[in-house]
Amino acid sequence: MDLSLLPSTVLAANPPIDWGNFVWHGNFTTIDLIAASTNALNGAMLVRSPDHYKKYTMVGIILFAVLGGIGGGVTRDVLVSEIPSALTNPAYLTLCLIAGLIGYFIALDSEQKFRMGWFQFMTAFSLPWYAIVGAQKGVDVGLPVWGCLLLAVVGPTAGRWFIDVSSTVTPAHFVRGEWFVGTAALTGLVWIIVYQVGGANTWISAGVAFVVGFAFRVAATRFGWEEPMPRQGTVEGSTAD
C-alpha cells in the first residue's frame, strides 16, 4: 500500500514507531554521555549516604541514579527549547543504568560504611563534565556569555537538586560546602575563554576546563575551602548570636 495516498491527517495520527538509535560519538554527544554516566554513578552513591538514605529499595536507588544522570541534561535542553537528548538516544539510559548499578555496589565498604572518599572524588570528577556541556550548548544555540554560564551551572547541579529535594534534604546549592555551584561556574567560564581563544577546538577546551574544575573541587575538598557565610548583623533592640 502506498502511504503517500493516505490523507495527511491519518499519517499524522499514526506516526511510525521509532526505537531510537544508539549514538556514542561526536564531540557534544561523547562529553554529554560522560557527564550523564558519571553523575548517575554519583547519584546512586549519594542516596546511600547517611544523610540521604531513607530505606530506599534497590529499584529506588537505580531510579535516583537515572534522575541524577539525566536530570541536568534534560533541564538544560528544555531551557533552550530542545527535545532532551536523553529521550531520543537510548545510550543515555543504558549508561545511567549501568553506572547506577556500579554506584549501588561501591557506595559502602565491606563493613557497610559509606565511602565518603569515593563520593567526594566522583563529585569532583562529574561536576565539570556537565558544566562543559552546558556552556557548549549555550554557544551552539547562540546564547550570550551569561546565558552560557547559567547553563553551565544548571547542567551539573539540577540532578543533585532533584535528588536532594526528593530525599527531603536541603539542596547542596544553598548550604555551605566546597564550592559546589562555584566549581560549575568556574569550569564553564574557563571553557568559554579557552574555546574563544583557542580557535573553537572542543576537545582542547574541554580538557583544559575539566582539569581546572576538577583540580579546584579537589583542592576545595582537601583544604576545606567553603563559601563564605553572611555576616551576623545586629537587629535593633537585640544582638545576634
pTM: 0.86
pLDDT, residue 241, reads 44
DSSP assignments along 6-69, one per residue: S-HHHHHHSPPP--------SHHHHHHHHHHHHHHHHHHHHTTSTTT-SS--HHHHHHHHHHHH
Domain borders along the chain are: 21-223
Distance, CA of 39 to CA of 86 (rounded, Å): 14
pLDDT, residue 4, reads 56
The tens place of each residue's pLDDT in the chain, 241 residues long, gives 555 555 555 445 667 777 778 888 777 899 999 999 999 999 999 999 999 999 999 999 999 999 999 999 999 999 999 999 999 999 999 999 999 999 999 999 988 899 999 999 999 999 999 999 999 999 999 999 999 999 999 999 999 999 999 999 999 999 999 999 999 999 999 999 999 987 767 788 999 999 999 999 999 999 999 999 888 765 555 444 4
User: Which are the contacts of 154, defined by CB distance < 8 A and separation ≥ 6?
Assistant: 72, 75, 76, 79, 134
Backbone angles phi, psi at 238, to 5 degrees: -150, 165
User: Which are the contacts of 91, defined by CB distance < 8 A and separation ≥ 6?
Assistant: 22, 23, 24, 33
